[in-house]
Amino acid sequence: MTIILADVGTATLLLALLLSIYATGVSFLGARRMRPNWIASAKNTTFVVFGLLSLAVLIMEYFLLTGEFQVEYVAHYAALKQLFIYNLSALWGGQEGSLLFWGWVLAMFAAIVLVQNRRKHQELIPYVIAVTMITEAFFLILMTVVTSPFKLLDFVPADGQGLNPLLQNIGMFFHPVTQYLGYVGFTIPFAFAMAALFTGRLNDVWIRTTRRWTLFAWLMLSLGLLFGGQWAYVELSWGGYWGWDPVENASLMPWLTATAYLHSVMIQEKRGMLKVWNLVLVMLTFILSLLGTFITRSGIVQSVHAFGVSSMGPYFLVFMGATILIFLWFLFSRMDNLKEDNELDSLVSRESSFLLNNLILVGAAFATFWGTIFPMISEAVTGKKITVGPPFFERVNGPIFLALVILIGICPLIGWRRATKENLIRNFIKPLTFGILFDVLLFIVGIRDAGGLISFGVSAFVLATIALEFYRGVRTRIKQYQENPLLGLFNLVERNRRRYGGYIIHVGVILMVIGVAGSSFYKTDTQANLKKGESVTLRQYTVRFDGLKEVTRENHDAVIANLTVTEKNQPAGMLFPEKDFYPQQDQPSSEMAVRSTAAEDLYIILAGWEDDGSASLKVIINPLIIWLWIGWIVLISGSVIALLPDPREERALARVAGRERLISVSSE
C-alpha cells in the first residue's frame, strides 16, 4: 500500500508539472492570439493543478501521521512517540515537504485569484496565470527532478528520527506556515505587475486589485517574524529573539521592501507618481522571497533554521536571474507608458517623506542583504569565509531603523504637495515638546544611557503624533455628527480602515521599539554554580536552587531545576528550567523558564549540573521585553483592520477600471 501511494504521489507531481507548463503556454498564447477557449483551458488546468497538489499533500500527511517509515522523508521527520501536532507539522519540517507545501499554497492562491476575478480584469488574468504557473512549474521541477518527497528506502525502519527537538515547539507549528504564506503570497502582486507590463495597462488597476493580497502577504510575513522571534526567545535559551542569522535576515528583507511598497503605492494612487519604482519594489519583494527559500535550501549557509546541503541552489539562481532579466526587458520596453502624472512639488511634503521612507527601507534591506551574502562571496573568491556577525548589522541598521521611526512621526504632520512654515510649526510643536519632556523625566528618574533616551524620546514623539491624528479625527466627528467619543472613534476607524489601520500598525512598531530598546540597552545577566539551598542575586531578584529532579515524558527524558524566586525579599513564585534528552539526539535541548511582567522578564537557563547535585544557572533580566510581543500583536491587529474590505477602495478601483475601458474603446 505504501509503495502504491508513493507512486501515486510521484505521478501526481509529474502530471502537475506537465499541466503547469501547459497552462503557462496556453494562457500566454491565448492572450496574444485572442483565443478565449485557450484561456479557459488554462484556467481549468490551474484548478486541476491545485487538485493534484492537494492530493499529494494528503498522501504525505497520511504517511506522516500513520508512520509509513519506508518513505525516506517520513523516516527523517516523523516518529512513533512524536506528538500528533509535530508529526502533522513535519510536512514543512524538512526540505522536500516544505517544497511540496510551497507548491500547494501557490496553486491554492492561483485558484483563489481566478475565483475572485472570474468576471473582471480578464485582460490581465491570462498573464497572471502564466506567471503563477511557470513559478509553480519551477517548484515542481525541484520536486520531480532534484529531490522527491515520495522517495522510498530499501528497508522499513522500526521508527523514525522525528523532528529536531528545537522544532518541537508550538511556535514552530505556526512560524513556517505563516512564513510560507507570506513568501508565496507575494507571487500574486508580482504576477499582476508582470501582467500589467505585458498588456501595457499600467494605471492603478493592478495596484488596487492586489492591495489586499500584498497586505495579506505582508501580514503573514509579520506573523512569521513574530512566531520566529518568540520561538528563538523561548527555545534557543540565549536570552535573545533576533540574532541576525542568515535565514532570519532572509525573512526580514522581503518584509522591508514590501513595507516600502505599501507606502509608495499611496503616492501613485494619490498623485500618479513612482510608477516605475512600485514595479521594481514588487519585483524585489518577489525575488527576495525566492532568495529566502534559496538560502534555506541551498546549504550555502550554516543556520539552525536551514536545511542540509542540496543541489538545488543553481536551479534557484537560474530561475531568479531569468525572472529579473525578463522583468527588466518588459520594464524598459514600457517606459513610455510609465511617465509620471505629476512631479514632486516640494521637498517638504508628504510625498517626499514617503519617498525618503522608501529609500530608508530599501537601504536597510540592502545592508541586510550585503551582510548576509558577503560570507558566501568571500568564500567563493578567496576560499575563506569571513563571518559577518550581529555587531555589523546593529551598527549599520540601528541608525537606519531609528531614522525610519522618526519618519513615522513626521509623515502624518506634513501635508500633501507642499507644507507651509506655519502648518509645520503648528503640527510639530506639541508632539516634539512631549517627546523632549518625556526624555527629561526619564533623565530625572535616573535613566542616563544615550541610546535608551534617544529611543524612548523618539517613541514618545511618534506616539504623540498618532494620538493627535486620532484626537483630531474624533473631534471632527463629534462636531459634525454629535457622536460620543467612543462611537466617534469606532466610526473614524471603520470609515477609513486603511489610514487608521496604518496608524495602529505604527503604534505597534513604536511599542516594539520600546521593547527592543529596553532589552538592548538595559539587559543584565549573571551566571552561578549553586549547591542545593544556595542562592544567586541579580538586582532585585534572588533565585534559590532547591535541587534537580528527573522526569520521563512521552517522547523524551528531562532534568528539571527547582528554583524559588523572591523579588525585593517578597515571594515571587517558582521557576523550572530544564534540559531535555530525546532519543537519537546527541545533545540535550534547553527549555528556559521565564517570569514576565510589564517592566521586565526574569529569564533563567539551566546550563548544566555536576554529579554532586550542584547546578549551573544563567540568570538574565530583560527589561520591557513584553512590549516587543505586545507591539507585534498591535501591528497585526492594525493589519487586519487595514485588510478588511473598504467600499471606498472598491469604488476607486471601479472608477479607474472604467476609465481604462473608455480609453481602450476609444483607441480601437
Residue 526 forms beta bridges with which residues? 619
Dump pLDDT digits (tens) for 637-649.
999 999 988 766 6
In the DSSP assignment, the letter for residue 613 is S
Dump pLDDT digits (tens) for 64-85.
999 999 999 999 999 988 889 9
* 165 and 294 fall within a common domain: yes
Is 585 a domain residue? yes
> Higher model confidence: residue 35 or residue 345?
35
Mean confidence (pLDDT) of the chain? 89
Rounded Cα distance between 582 and 169, Å, is 14
pTM listed for this prediction: 0.91
| Residue that finishes a domain, picked among 339, 369, 391 | 339
Domains in the chain, number: 3
Closest Cα to residue 618, out of 549, 524, 533, 531? Answer: 524
Is 87 a domain residue? yes
Contact, 216 vs 636, CB < 8 A?
no
pLDDT band at 665; cut points 50, 70, 90: very low
* 207 and 155 fall within a common domain: yes
* 30 and 81 fall within a common domain: yes
* 597 and 541 fall within a common domain: yes
Q: Does the structure show a pLDDT above 90 at 553?
A: no
Rounded Cα distance between 239 and 592, Å, is 9
Is 395 a domain residue? no
* 462 and 501 fall within a common domain: yes
Rounded Cα distance between 173 and 225, Å, is 13
| Residue that finishes a domain, picked among 339, 369, 400 | 339
Is 346 a domain residue? no
Q: Which domain holds residue 578?
A: 524-623
* 440 and 551 fall within a common domain: no
3-class secondary-structure state, position 550 = strand
* 125 and 195 fall within a common domain: yes
* 302 and 429 fall within a common domain: no
Closest Cα to residue 52, out of 176, 185, 143, 129? Answer: 143
Dump pLDDT digits (tens) for 85-106.
999 999 998 889 999 999 999 9
* 162 and 232 fall within a common domain: yes
Angle, CA 353 vertex, CA 347 and CA 356 arms, to 5°: 100
* 533 and 510 fall within a common domain: no
